Copies of this chain bind each other. A is one copy, B any other.
Amino acid sequence: MNREATDLPIAPAGEKPTLRSLAEATGFSIATVSRALADDPRIAAKTRALVAEAAALAGYVPDRAARRLRTGRTQVVTLLLNTQHEFLGFTHEFLSGMTEALQGTGYSVNVVPDDVGDDRLAPVRNILRNHLADGVVFTRTEAFDPRVRLLMENDFPFVSHGRTEFTTPHPFVDFDNEAFARQAVQRLVGKGRTRLSLILPEDRFTFTQHLRYGFVSEARAAGVDHEIVDGVTLDSPAARIAETLRASRLGDNPPDGYVCVGEVTALVTLSALADSDAVLGRDADVFAKRASPIFDNIRPRIDTVFEDLRETGRKMAEMLLRRMQGEDPATLTHMLMPDFERLHHSPDTHA
């Protein structure tokens, strides 16, 4: 019945501290200890302090399984991972950002493949049915993404990377791809380029439309020729993209300005140019979006704009936390702007 903090027993080496052991150590009941740790105002302040001290001393950490069983809350957030396609370094940066934001919150990150088998919704259904997580995060969002629909129907917390065209608002984090496309066009036009070319992601992704709109309307405004490459998408095999680009360079009036949405596409474009003996800066220019630092080390240098995926992951985790705490989904949206500060003007690393 020891209630003096000074002579509490030290943590026994072998067995892990539990509410019961804390109760025995402090002389209070399990219920009181539980409430005290939750800072319940119904518990006397002195008691709360005593219990807190005992818990710290013993290194008490609540058992996740027990809490989860009792409350139904898993303290887990799931990332739906597309295991096939990736922007270079995407997964790494994104995950790092997520874990960073979740650090110290008690939530842990669970990774589930989003593209196995025929039923595209199976992973989400599985999570919903068996309450495998308290929230979900995913990428490659489509205009009418079935995952979004299903999650909204079930009022389940989630944050999508990318917007949808559903009327009901939902939390998302997105990169302003329209602004990127516009800027890319402006840059190329500024260099005197008049025949622009763009390879788009697959049509079903929402950001494809944003890219298209930004590209087309800005090119029209500038009064320059522009084409969206037919027959291939960002997800096409690199070899096929290369093939298509090389073929296009054999035409009468090949493009002289390339907007590249991904790093791989940019590299393919560069090699297609090299393969057809076109010289960068003379025959054509390339403007690309980058998410990794590799372009710093590639010759010839090209202009790039940075999409911060670590920040994206961080923001998405933050919004998910707030959504799970019951904040209004409609307000939980965030747009990342093309990083003009860190715009990459082919810095000379000799300096």
Contacts and interface: CB of A to CB of B under 8 A. Distances in A.
Interface of A: 16, 59, 61, 63-66, 68-69, 74, 81, 83, 86, 88-92, 95-96, 99-100, 103, 108-113, 116, 129-130, 132, 238-239, 242-243, 246, 263-264, 267-268, 270-271, 274-275, 292-294, 296-299, 349-350
B96 A103 contact: no
A100 B83 contact: yes
Contacts of A239: 296, 349
Each complex incorporates copies of this chain amounting to: 2
Contacts of A293: 238, 264
A330 to B, nearest CB: 28
Given A271-B298, A294-B88, A299-B275, A81 B95 contact: yes
Contact of A267 (B16, B270, B294): B294
B111 A99 contact: yes
Given A103-B116, A110-B110, A246-B350, 12 more contacts: A16-B129, A64-B130, A65-B66, A68-B68, A83-B100, A89-B92, A103-B113, A109-B110, A263-B294, A267-B298, A271-B299, A275-B350
B238 A296 contact: yes
A297 B129 contact: no
Nearest to A83: B96
Contacts of A268: 297
Given A65-B68, A294-B294, A99 B74 contact: no
Contacts of A83: 92, 95-96, 99-100
A113 B93 CA distance: 12
A66 B64 contact: no
Contact of A113 (B16, B99, B246): B99
